[in-house]
Structure 1
């Protein structure tokens, strides 16, 4: 079967590897073409974060790739909130793991090389030609997907109001931390966590009024980084912020009524986005790749059957995660109001924002935080 995968991010690289491996195991040789418009390793941002159990699905299906990635990840067991009052609230037992985005791409590209697939880097393909010459076309090319432009998937994109910029920091934070800052001109939040022993991701978020008051519109990366480093000087210990395509953006809440159109199908951020505040975007992309490869393997070369099976199995799972991500995003859209709460009431509002936290279960996972909350709530 001739398979064209557009997009050399985590979803595209991993799907190409899985399909090539599957073909070798079953004695079926797929003709796999992976097209990426950027050069190898080109990416924006810094680290990507997973829940501490997020790679469990990978270990079950592909232990070799799991064992390649897992040792490279930074891990921690607590989540911390720095409230504008100056109080720090620690929520114990909420584990996470992170890895540099560039490093993750390197490792996935190594897996792809091991099965003999060579991506076509720095290759652009037009929407009018992307669907021709292949039995299956997979759009793994992100929010601005060329494949999505080539067919009618019933796409809806609704940008959120807050602005964010994805910086890096030369300081290894000891936990995934949320730092909220109030200034005379507005309010900011920073999502920060280490992804190597020396470096951290540092995502700065601002509500629209604050973004305008500080004049970030039209400001270049260097000036934005310098100003944000001043605003978060205390938590950064006076160190500068690093940039890598660190432009201010509005998060695009993207969805598609149809996951496939003819012989074309979408996965990863081309299919739907999940707000970065729940740390599930890369996980969802990798899980999409696994589910699609499994569907293809089970249905042979019956592309319509494979795409139908992929969507049937995957849509309910994705819907729950996206719903949680949307609730989390809505909470962040109103964070200037939430930070008016006392620190522990604020922390409870934060940890319950997605609707996925059961209070009884949280008491077992984070007993120290729950005990402190019960003692301090309303204070």
Structure 2
């Protein structure tokens, strides 16, 4: 019988706890989460059309429960210079982060996971004696920070600024809206995650952020300024704040995934820029891969963790490269906005280097037909 402690009650920690306890009911599994039950920060999380495939192959019941609560659409829309460009066939789905957490909490509790909410672990000495510690406590992971050298962690930050809001405005698709203002250039990622709510992420380069005075504005005034910048997009709706502070995106990577009886998953291990919509998917995939590795080496946690890293690392590295390419594209939004709407859309959809023209013609025939017809007239201005 194993004693397993999971530090962090986000999607990766909850899903691993549920998986392990459901498959090994004799083991004790305890989740420590610093926030109250039913509390979360942020709004919706997005998944690509194929993001549930990994889950459905191993855990169809959970995949079906999540999918039933999702908002789904088949296109992406870009708005530039007031023109809307549809990228057909680029399907995504979204679910409220809180709804996802409540579902996973219910799954974990139903199989007997011990849930310890409102519990802040101030040092690793606060963790009870156990056979395995799964660090699922995000970018500020206590476990990883305590043993940063052993995990060979690097951390850096993008220069661009972003802030995460919600809104009651209903959007038909995941949309990227680009606007030019007296302060500079801004873009918003927005998509519905329930019939009544949408996520609304505002992003800009540092020069625009400073010129707009966001370094001096309080939270309420900053929200109001964002509403003014995207007034046409919001169409009379307000932004909703929930710990909505301007941030720089953290690039985090741990070159060693385990140390002693401790192993990292999700954002405690690596981050992926939100523009590729894979953060939650990657975190839950980590949970599944770790569970499978532990089952492959039931008598040796060290070998199991090494197997987890060996099997999972090439997949994560590939997505991490794509995320960096995507983030680099966003770093040059002021330059990209000099392009025509169609050229901007083409630049956007090919930004990660994973989609060439042949794949794009097969995936988005409507867009490529329109792009091909207009191409001779769409040179950068």
The answer to whether the 8 A contact 1:295-1:309 is kept is yes
The equivalent of 2:115 in structure 1 is: 119
1:8 aligns with 2:5: no
Deviation per CA, 1:285-321, whole angstroms, max 9, x where unpaired?
Answer: 0000000011111211310111011001000000000
Report the TM-score when normalising by structure 1. 0.97
Equivalent-residue separation in structure 2 for 1:334 and 1:247 (angstroms): 22
The equivalent of 1:90 in structure 2 is: 86
The equivalent of 2:70 in structure 1 is: 73
The equivalent of 2:270 in structure 1 is: 272
Equivalent-residue separation in structure 1 for 2:255 and 2:106 (angstroms): 34
The answer to whether the 8 A contact 1:139-1:267 is kept is yes
Q: Which moved more, 1:99-108 or 1:143-152?
A: 143-152
CA shift for structure 1 position 130: 5.3
Specify the SS of the correspondent of 2:195. coil
The answer to whether the 8 A contact 1:23-1:30 is kept is yes
Structure 2 unaligned runs (5+)? none
CA shift for structure 1 position 276: 0.2
CA shift for structure 1 position 131: 6.2
The equivalent of 2:50 in structure 1 is: 53
Q: How much is the aligned-residue C-alpha RMSD, in angstroms? A: 1.1
Q: May I ask how many residue pairs the two structures share in their alignment? A: 374
1:289 aligns with 2:287: yes
The answer to whether the 8 A contact 1:328-1:353 is kept is yes
Equivalent-residue separation in structure 2 for 1:139 and 1:130 (angstroms): 14
The equivalent of 1:200 in structure 2 is: 198
Equivalent-residue separation in structure 1 for 2:156 and 2:288 (angstroms): 28
1:64 aligns with 2:65: no
Structure 1 unaligned runs (5+)? none
Deviation per CA, 1:132-153, whole angstroms, max 9, x where unpaired?
Answer: 6121111100000001022221
Report the TM-score when normalising by structure 2. 0.96
The equivalent of 2:130 in structure 1 is: 134
Runs of 4+ displaced beyond 6 Å:
none
The answer to whether the 8 A contact 2:74-2:90 is kept is yes
Equivalent-residue separation in structure 2 for 1:361 and 1:334 (angstroms): 24
Q: Which moved more, 1:116-125 or 1:244-253?
A: 116-125
The equivalent of 2:19 in structure 1 is: 18
Equivalent-residue separation in structure 2 for 1:237 and 1:133 (angstroms): 55
Q: 105, 108, 111: which is aligned to 2:104?
A: 108
